[in-house]
Structure 1
Amino acid sequence: MENAIRRTHRYEFKKPDLESLRNLGRMVKNPEHFRNRYGYLLNILRTNVDEGLINTLVQFYDPLYHCFTFSDYQLVPTLEEYSHWVGLPVLDQVPFHGLEPGPKIPAIANALHLEIADIKNKFITRAGLQCLPYNFLYQKATICFERSETDAFEAILALLIYGIVLFPNVDKFVDMNAIQIFLTQNPVPTLLADTYVSIHERTDKERGTIVCCAPLLHIWITSHLPRPKVKPEYLPWSQKLMTLTPNDIVWFNPTCDPELIIDSCGDFNNVPLLGTRGGISYSPVLARRQFGFYMEMKPVYLILDRDFFLYKKDDANQRAQFKKAWYSIIRKDRNQLGNRSVIAHEAYVKWVIDRANKWKMPYPRQRLVTSTVSAIPLPLPPESLEGYQKQLDIERRENSMWEVKYRKKKQEYDTVKNLLDQQIQANCKEKNENARLKASIQRKEDFLDKICPGRKKRRMDLFNGPHLDSEE
């Protein structure tokens, strides 16, 4: 087993001062109304980020497969998960890609429910972008709140969250990129792209500040971590993550169970993402268990290392290729994703272990790793090796029995489903035949009534007149 450790690096995350913005968020009188219009922005705003956790998480970033690779499993931020935690759908349109000129002042004023004069001449250039000052927007939001102008207050608050929390760039300013994304009402693809692009770029340079929505990344990773039933003793996150087994991970969240997932776009075998500063891709194949499906064999032809570029260095014009791909979104439904299960095929786990050994873990291993069963914590005393081997044999047999039971249950389910389908078809056929006969009889009755004068009246009298028994 490879025991070498990869060198770790210290990264910073963009940390805007959120206290005054949180105070503004507390002024929302109807959170449900705000949520229906702008998603879970208030939840993201209130999230306290554990910097130790996300700094440790970044150490596991795998630049070859654009995911987080641990000892024997991988985690992949996906569009569907980010959409769930943001509370907004991924729209069927090309995401923000910074090609079009910025929106005109009338469009911005209309979206904020303000007069054009309110924001005219308020834009300032910072870092090469037109920006609105935070203090100006904060003051406007306060005035709208005092005047009970709810729509304007909520719109300005949402824009502030976009510019300061979701897409932080220039301190104390909301830049034009954030404004454009706010107007599209489709922030999720850009949010995920910025997360990947910034982590990929910084880990490649082994230094610097990661500029993305840190609260959303924190929400995503904690959703997959087990929650201790009792208050645990303090341990560094490096040790906590290195002791987790695939059985400890919360793979599937029932509240995040999309009918369809975006599997690829255009000519790409993966999902290309366009952010505010560049593009990158990720592979939903590696996220099967996060959608509640069985991870089958190891991925084939999984090549992602070339799918990364910065707009300022896009010599191959990849931005145009990424944009074109989003005109052909390919989705898969539950029937196409395979069997419901969060376990993984042995071949896939072996592939992950080989990758982890080749890429090297950033921290010392805290447990044994196996491709067939969950590992147990180290150190393991020599006298327990025989018992451990017996445990492995037992769990292998249990896994085998589980697979047999699963196949049997699936066969039973398919049999019952086929019988029900046949019965439904038979019932429909019988219903249609009855309707046909009823219509035929009615046509004959109408024909007889037509050629036999008085027949219809006698028939009506027969059914509507007094019964013979009553006459007696």
Structure 2
Amino acid sequence: MRFSSPYSRREMYSPESNSVRFLDRVEDNAAVRVWSEKTQQEKGDSLAEGYESELWDFTRISVTQNDLRELREIWSSWNDETKQLFYCNYGDLPYLLGIKVDKYLFRALAQFWNPAYSCFTFGGIDLVPTVEEYMALLNCPSIQADRAYSRPVNVPPFVKKLIRITGMSEQWVAARIKQKGDSKCIPWGNLRDLILAHPDLKKRVDVFALSIYGLVVFPKALGYVDEAVSDLFDRLDKGTTPVPAILAETFRSLNACRRAGEGRFIGCAQLLLAWFHSHFWKAEKVSYRVFSRDYSPLRELVATSRRDDVSEEKWIAIL
């Protein structure tokens, strides 16, 4: 097996409240590396003896994204009360709208993805996103880490799920469902109009969140929200965490592209890049950060200016 560092939970003293709080901390890289190497020596390698990689030398991966300008405009037009309602129910998802996907960095990262271990390998260092890290990035108080999503045996029809999410009539929903390949979808344009005109504030927030999940987190069909997204979204109000499903789609898409030598990444590129940058942040030359409960990693990432003129070749050399 190969290992990387998750965010750990530590009990730390908080002078502001004169009490003990649980704060998130990213472990020091050197300590984690020692732990990782020691564990791998004890546990051994998960690959069969004689295994030979059949990966392509270079993967031509596409990270074509949906146009998110209308989503950003809608979010900007909302008042603080509406935004707070969204944060309480869905966490820091809106910050994903402000993360620019650096296609050169992403393509470079893909070259270091190892499907045999399902991790990134940078020289002698293995890194992989964990549930704890993505939970910290999404920063959603309503989801529970131990309630992972699993597709039920008897899934309600797409129409029924959209009726429940949108509050619209069966006739309205059925008239707007489209077939895209082997999946049923609903166009973003229909959801946009609903967000702008729905009389129920909570429904506007719900449909906006569904749109982010369909256009940013699981962007399978450009310009559409896939039926599979509604399956997961329909369970969020029960405290179900979407993180394992997000990671599974990330790993599946990276594996498929690497093995084929090409393809379009259909996981959440914004979250993966946010995770990558979080491992290279430094505060006063210290290779870890201590987070309070009010700290938002995605908010800081969006506020941090980064160069976007670094070539793919340069990124590969750096990594």
TM range (shorter): 0.5 to 0.7
Specify the SS of the correspondent of 1:105: helix
Aligned pair partner of 1:12 in 59, 62, 71: 62
Structure 1 or 2: more helix by fraction? 1
Specify the SS of the correspondent of 1:11: strand
> Structure 1 residue 111 and structure 2 residue 165: aligned?
yes
Query: Are the equivalent residues in 1 in contact too, given 2:65–2:222 (CA < 8 A)?
Result: no
Which structure exhibits the higher relative contact order, with contacts defined as CA atoms closer than 8 Å and separated by 6 or more residues?
A: 2
Partner of 1:66: 118
CA distance in 2, matches of 1:58, 1:196: 11
> Structure 1 residue 137 and structure 2 residue 137: aligned?
no
Partner of 1:254: 290
Partner of 2:271: 216
How far the C-alpha of 1:112 sits from its partner, in A, is 2.4
CA distance in 2, matches of 1:256, 1:200: 35
Percent identical pairs in the alignment equals 26
How do 1:48-447 and structure 2 match up within 5 A? 48-88=100-140, 89-97=143-151, 100-103=154-157, 105-144=159-198, 147=199, 149-185=200-236, 186-226=241-281, 250=287, 252-255=288-291
How far the C-alpha of 1:115 sits from its partner, in A, is 3.8
Residues matched between the structures, number: 235
- Matched letter for residue 92 of structure 1: D
- Matched letter for residue 135 of structure 1: G
CA RMSD of aligned residues (A): 2.8
- Where in structure 1 are there 5+ consecutive unaligned residues? 1-5, 230-247, 258-361, 367-472
How far the C-alpha of 1:113 sits from its partner, in A, is 3.4
Specify the SS of the correspondent of 2:146: coil
CA distance in 2, matches of 1:200, 1:54: 14
CA distance in 2, matches of 1:72, 1:83: 27
Specify the SS of the correspondent of 1:23: helix
How far the C-alpha of 1:121 sits from its partner, in A, is 2.7
- Higher Rg: 1
Per the normalisation by structure 1, the TM-score is 0.46
Query: Are the equivalent residues in 1 in contact too, given 2:158–2:227 (CA < 8 A)?
Result: no
- Matched letter for residue 17 of structure 1: D
CA distance in 2, matches of 1:97, 1:183: 11
- Matched letter for residue 217 of structure 1: L
- 1:192-219 deviations in whole A, cap 9, x for unaligned? 1111110011111111111111111111
Alignment CA distance shift 1:363-1:109 (3 Å) = closer
Specify the SS of the correspondent of 2:77: coil
Partner of 2:97: 45
Per the normalisation by structure 2, the TM-score is 0.66
- 1:73-112 deviations in whole A, cap 9, x for unaligned? 2211001111111223354345234754344534432322
